[in-house]
Amino acid sequence: MPLSPASVAEQEYLKQIYLLHEDEGRATTQMLADRLGVKPPSVTAMIKRLAEDEDGPLVRHMPYHGVDLTERGVAVALEMLRHHRLIELFLSELLGVPWDRVHEEADRLEHVLSEDLEERIATKLGNPTVDPHGDPIPSREGVIMPREMVRLTELPVGATGVISRIDQQEGPVLQYLASLGLILEETVTVQSIAPFGGVVTVRVGMGGPDSVHALGGDLAKHILIALACDEAEGSRR
Amino acid sequence: MPLSPASVAEQEYLKQIYLLHEDEGRATTQMLADRLGVKPPSVTAMIKRLAEDEDGPLVRHMPYHGVDLTERGVAVALEMLRHHRLIELFLSELLGVPWDRVHEEADRLEHVLSEDLEERIATKLGNPTVDPHGDPIPSREGVIMPREMVRLTELPVGATGVISRIDQQEGPVLQYLASLGLILEETVTVQSIAPFGGVVTVRVGMGGPDSVHALGGDLAKHILIALACDEAEGSRR
DNA sequence: TCCTGAATTTAGACTCATCTAAATATAAGG
DNA sequence: CCTTATATTTAGATGAGTCTAAATTCAGGA
Ligand SMILES: [Mn+2]
Ligand SMILES: [Mn+2]
Ligand SMILES: [Mn+2]
Ligand SMILES: [Mn+2]
C-alpha cells in the first residue's frame, strides 16, 4: 500500500469513516465529530476537502445523510489500519507494551510509518493476520482475511467458544476484561443470558465456580467468539 | 525528559538550533533556513514565536545576529536528540535497518515517541550511550557523556585510531564510507595528509595495500577518531 | 400537511506555519 | 566615512484545520 498523499488529519478522518461503516453501517457528521474529538462544522469542512481532492475524490458526500469512502478512500483507510495493527502487534510482542496501551501508541505512530519499516515489521512478525485484540490486519494489497465470528451476546446458553476478537479499544475496559481472564484465545462457556440485551454470565476456561463472571450486555457485545469447531452454529442441535 | 509541549515544527527548529551551535558555534537565520528547507522569513517568524512562548522563552533572539537556546530550549532539543538516537539504534539493532537509512526514519518518529516507549526502548537496548553513527545519546536527564575524539583530518601522519563517530547524516555519504570499510569501531592508520585541508590517505583495519583509500578533506573531517590508548595525542612523540 | 427539535451546513474568525516582495540593517572595502 | 552587497526582518497573503454563532434542512408527530 504505497500510496497516501494525505495529511495526518485526512488519514484520521478516512480511517474513522471506514470504521464507522464497519461497526455502525454508516458515518454521519455527528458520529465523526464524536470519534475525532472535533465539532460538527469541522467535520463538514474536512468532508468537503476530501470530496474534492485534487487527485480524485476520497469520499462521497450525501449532504445531510452522511458520507462514504470511494475506492481511493478505502485504500488509504486500509493502509492506516494495516499500519495501526502491525504496530500494535509489534509493540506488544517485541516491547512488551500491555494490550490495553498499544492502541494509543499506534494511533500516533501509524501516520509516520514508512513502507520500508512496515515491510520489515511485517516480516519480523511473520506476516500476521490479526493484531493483539484479534482485529484483522489487511494485507499489503488491502485484503482482509474473513473470519466467522459471533458476538458473545448472540451465543445460545450452554455454548462454548474461543474469544477471538475484542471490538473495543479503550484501555480501562481492556484492563477490566483481562482482570477477569477474558483475553484472546481463552475459552468461555455461556451460563445464562438475561433477555433484552441484559447481563451475560460466562464461565472462563475450564476453571471452577470462581471463574464465572457476569458482564453487562454493552460490554459483552464487544467480545467476539469463534465457535468451537464441533458446535452447531447458533442452533441448540 | 517528560516535558515538550511544543509542536513538531517547534521541536524541529529547537533541535537544529542546538545542532548548529554544536557544529558551527552559532545559528543564523540563513543556516536554519538551509537545514530546515524553508525560507528565511519563516525562520524569523518561528524564532519570534519561540522567544515569546507562553510558558517562558525557548530561545534568545539577537536580531541580525542569530539565536541561541534558553535552558528550556536546550531541554526540548536534548529530548528530541535522545528520541532520535534511541530510535536509530533500535531500528538498526532490532529491525536491521541499514545505518544510512535510520536517520530519516528517526526524524519522523522522534516527534511521536511517548515517554513510556522511550523507556522501554532504552531498557531493551541496555541504556546505550551512543547511536549507530557514534552520536552520543543524552540520558533521561539530558546529560551527554563526554568522549575524547579528534577529526581524521587533525590526526598526525602515521597515527592509528578507531573510528568512533561519523558526523554526517546523509545516506549516500554513509553508504560510500561503508563501502570502503570505514564503519564504526574500525581501526584506521593515516598514511598521508595533503596540506590545506586536502586529501587524507588511510589504511583501513589491518588489511593490505588494497585497503588503502584516499578521502577528500571535506569528507574526512566528518570522521571522528578515538586515539588508540597508548598513542600520544597529537604529538609524534 | 404543518410544526418542531435535532442534525447539518454556512458564515466568519482564528492559529500555525509557510510563502513572496519590499524595506532595512550589518559589515566590509574603497 | 561612505557605499554597497548580503543577510535579515517586516509586511502582507495563503492554506490547513479548527472554532462559535447563525441559518438551514430533515424527519417524525400532531
Ligand atoms: Mn503502508
Ligand atoms: Mn487493535
Ligand atoms: Mn522523551
Ligand atoms: Mn545518528
Q: How many interchain CB pairs under 8 A, A with B?
A: 37
Q: Look at A96 and B121 and tell me if their CB atoms are within 8 Å.
A: no
- Closest CB to B114: pick one of A105, A116, A124: A105
Q: Tell me whether residue A206 is exposed, middle or buried, using C-beta atoms within 10 angstroms of its C-beta: 0 to 12, 13 to 18, 19 or more.
A: exposed
Grid look-up 554544536 returns B22
Q: Look at B96 and A120 and tell me if their CB atoms are within 8 Å.
A: yes
Contacts of B101 in chain A (CB under 8 A): 116
Of A19, A29, A143, A136, nearest to A75 by C-alpha is A143
Grid look-up 596540506 returns B195
Of A87, A95, A98, A124, nearest to B124 by C-alpha is A95
DSSP B130: B
Looking at the fold, whether A94 and A156 belong to one and the same domain comes out as no
Output the pLDDT for position B38.
98
Three-state DSSP at B32 gives: helix
Looking at the fold, whether A55 and A25 belong to one and the same domain comes out as yes
Looking at the fold, whether B154 and B131 belong to one and the same domain comes out as no
Three-state DSSP at A98 gives: coil
Contact B164, B151 (CB under 8 A): no
Residue of B nearest to A96 (CA): B120
Looking at the fold, whether B164 and B56 belong to one and the same domain comes out as no
Structural domain ending residue among the three candidates A145, A166, A182:
A145
Structural domain ending residue among the three candidates A129, A145, A161:
A145
Task: Specify the CATH number for the domain of residue B224.
Answer: 2.30.30.90
Residue A235: pLDDT band (50, 70, 90) is: very low
A211-224 pLDDT, tens digit per residue, is 899 988 888 989 99
Looking at the fold, whether A43 and A109 belong to one and the same domain comes out as yes
Domain tally, chain B: 2
Looking at the fold, whether B95 and B176 belong to one and the same domain comes out as no
Residue A208: pLDDT band (50, 70, 90) is: low
Looking at the fold, whether B185 and B122 belong to one and the same domain comes out as no
**Please, where are the H alpha helices in A52-170?**
71-95, 102-109, 115-124
Looking at the fold, whether B133 and B195 belong to one and the same domain comes out as no
How crowded is the C-beta side of A208, counted as CA atoms within 13 Å?
1
pLDDT of B231 higher than 90: no
Three-state DSSP at A61 gives: strand
pLDDT of B171 higher than 50: yes
Cα–Cα distance between B14 and A101 in angstroms, integer? Answer: 30
Q: How far apart are the first and last CA of chain B?
A: 45
A32-74 pLDDT, tens digit per residue, is 999 999 999 999 999 999 999 989 999 999 999 999 999 999 9
CA quadruple A193, A194, A200, A201: dihedral sign:
negative
Highest mean pLDDT among A115-129, A165-179, B155-169: A115-129
Looking at the fold, whether B33 and B101 belong to one and the same domain comes out as yes
Treating both helix axes as pointing N-terminal to C-terminal, what angle do B8-24 and B29-36 enclose, rounded to 10 degrees?
Answer: 120
pLDDT of A232 higher than 50: no
Chain D nucleotides reached by a protein CB under 7 Å:
7-12, 16-22, 25-27
pLDDT of A182 higher than 70: yes
Looking at the fold, whether A193 and A129 belong to one and the same domain comes out as no
Q: What is the mean pLDDT of residues B159-180?
A: 90
Nearest nucleotide to the CA of A40, by C1', is: C8
Output the pLDDT for position B207.
67
Task: Specify the CATH number for the domain of residue B49.
Answer: 1.10.10.10
Looking at the fold, whether B65 and B176 belong to one and the same domain comes out as no
pTM score, whole prediction: 0.90
Looking at the fold, whether B32 and B129 belong to one and the same domain comes out as yes
Structural domain ending residue among the three candidates A94, A118, A145:
A145
pLDDT of B230 higher than 60: no
Three-state DSSP at A164 gives: strand
- Maximum separation of any 2 CA atoms in chain B, in Å: 62
Give the angle A36-A138-A99 at the CA atoms, nearest 5°.
60
Contact A205, A187 (CB under 8 A): yes
B182-205 pLDDT, tens digit per residue, is 999 999 999 988 887 789 999 998
Q: Rg of the Cα trace of chain B?
A: 19
State which amino acid sits at residue B32.
L
Q: What is the mean pLDDT of residues A172-186?
A: 89
Work out if B75's Cβ lies within 7 angstroms of strand C. Answer: no
Q: Residue B121 belongs to what domain range?
A: 1-145
Work out if A213's Cβ lies within 7 angstroms of strand D. Answer: no
A143-156 pLDDT, tens digit per residue, is 999 999 999 888 89
